[in-house]
Amino acid sequence: MRTTFTHTKISGIITLVPEQYIHIDDELHTIYQGDQKALERIKKVVGLKTRHIAPKDITASDMALSAANILLDSMHIERSNIDVLIFITQTPDYFLPASACYLHGKLGLNTHTFAFDINQACAGYLYGLYVAHSLIDSGGAKRVLMLCGDTLSHFVNPLDSSLAPIIGDGVSATLLEYTQETLSAYFELGSDGTRFDKLIIPQGACRIPNKAIITDPKVWETSESRGLHNLYMDGTEIFNFAIMEEPGAFEKIIEYAGIAKEQLDYYFFHQANKYIVDNIAKRLKLDTTKVPNETTGKYGNLSGCSIPASICDTFGDTPLKKDLQISLAGFGAGLSFGNAILHLRKDFYTQKVMLYNKNNLYGGGESLLQQRKWEIDNVGTISIFTHYNAKYTRQSYEFAA
């Protein structure tokens, strides 16, 4: 499906990852069974270093609540002006009600604000953007708050060498608004449901696992490192899907938009792993200085949250010097994919990816006097975000790395 929208802009993005993290070097004698060469090869080729994972008592909605509050407060947006709340996640709090409804209450949104979940993973950010653009361009909404992310590590066996070193957790908050100016955004979305069982949690929902339906025999090869209640991925199939399908899909969206790829300022791909993104960029002959590819190494594969995380770390806290035209691409579970070409205006708001700690990062609904948030970036800066009487301040300090 290809569609063009003309009156929706992305105004701001905030991304949070859990404070807790694991460094791949610490797993030499567990997952890698003492094989130093295998560990170093994974670090070099796949780009794995650290991954941020949520404790069992932290859910995606917890991080979404904080991300939403930070974004709205930082941009001085009244809760009463939010028309729609969308939460894209595959790790909801409950089967019902929708986690978006729970967040609606915690955020203190008006009853005229409608809220719903979208069950999507790696391509979820693109699916959410498409829905938000549709609502705004149709006149059904002026302002949409879109939350996206998961705590998929809760479904990964820590001994699973194919998934445990890769999967991270995180949630983003994105504000989309109506604009009177013509701001063309081009989308193409698609799915291949014949391969639905290539990335799946077979057990835990309403259907009893059935070999007549889940026909991939590898799904049923369980062991101490993976049960049917854990996430399963056919790595070869997902890799082939990404590197064989995405280059063609990218070329199609470029053609549909009527521009040359060189005109784009940045190319943001789902950060599945470094090797996949490098491979796609090479096949498309893209300028790699415009292809951010550090997210997986810093936080792990954040599923649908990887694209906004990459955007946040790319643009950080420095205002844009000019309007940008960028491409976004997501691909994975479903199997699903999405591509878009859209604009970021100079007034686009973001901050570098932040760390979430339930003890020092405020949520919604409570009147907390003061909360603090620490952020350490890769260039030797510690930032302290302080929430005091519903206002945020930021102090930054240089340190010797």
- Residue positions annotated with a catalytic role: 122, 270, 301
> Could you give the CA distance from residue 144 to residue 202 in angstroms, rounded to a whole number?
33
E strand residue ranges, 141-253: 143-150, 170-178, 185-191, 199-200, 232-233
> Could you give the CA distance from residue 168 to residue 231 in angstroms, rounded to a whole number?
13
Q: 395: which 2 tokens?
A: 């102090």
Burial class (CB in 10 A: 0-12, 13-18, 19+), 183: middle
In the block, tokens 């949690």 appear at 201
Provide the b/e sequence for 324-353 (b: ≥16 CB within 10 Å).
bebbbbbbbbbbbbbbbbbbbeeebbbbbb
Q: In what order do the strands lie in the sheet with 381-388?
A: 370-376, 381-388, 391-398
373 alpha carbon, distance to own chain's centre: 20
> Could you give the CA distance from residue 68 to residue 335 in angstroms, rounded to a whole number?
28
